[in-house]
Amino acid sequence: MMEVRSIVPAPSGLQGHCKMRMRWARFRALVDAGDSGSRTRRSDESKSMSECFQTFNIAMPTLTNEIISAAILGFEEQRRRLDVQIAELRAMLSPSADGSTSSPKPTGRKKRRMSAAGRKAIAEGQRKRWAAAKAPAAAPKAAKKPKRKLSAAGRAAIVAALKKRWAAKKAAVK
């Protein structure tokens, strides 16, 4: 298999620019690894290579048939590796020899079912509770106690006590 790095040389104008050299090295590493780029890029690495070439007025390498065929070979190899890894993972999932995945049987206790007699007893108890809750609402309410009134003799006693208290208070002030 042909290496992409040997086909795509670094542009000659990049020797003096550290950031561009760093980007070019990252680009070559990504092409070699077959990675499309990490999701956590730093801001200075976020430009594409074509933008970097435009920034320094450097001609972008043209895509020749050799470069395209090397890229195709690289992607096919990458796909083959992924297919092998997927097959390994599927084999881990299913213990069967054919590699097919079967749904696992639920483990644990069986679902508890209630008998018809049990449901009937619960329904009857609920009907009784409902009837008991509704019964007091239908019964007439007890008559309210009449408000207590002060008799004339009681009122006269209170007035006499107040007069006596005020008279004592006035006498104490003099």
Per-residue DSSP letters for 78-98? HHHHHHHHHHHHHHHH--STT
pTM of the model: 0.25
Task: Give the closest residue to 25 by CA, choosing from 47, 15, 10.
Answer: 10
**pLDDT at res. 64:** 86
CA distances from 77 to 3, 58, 83, 100 (A): 12, 31, 10, 25
Could you give the percent of the chain with pLDDT greater than 70? 59
Contact, 47 vs 37, CB < 8 A? Answer: no
Q: Greater confidence, 98 or 127?
A: 127
In this prediction, residues 132-152 reach a mean pLDDT of 80
pLDDT tens profile 58-100: 666 678 888 889 999 999 999 999 999 999 998 888 766 555 5
Distance between CA atoms of residues 133 and 128, nearest Å = 9
- Up-side HSE of residue 136: CA atoms within 13 Å toward CB? 4
Tally Cβ neighbours within 10 Å of residue 22.
Answer: 13
pLDDT tens profile 36-65: 544 444 444 556 666 666 666 666 667 888
DSSP H/E element including 130? helix 116-138
**pLDDT at res. 109:** 80
Length of the chain in terms of residues written? 174
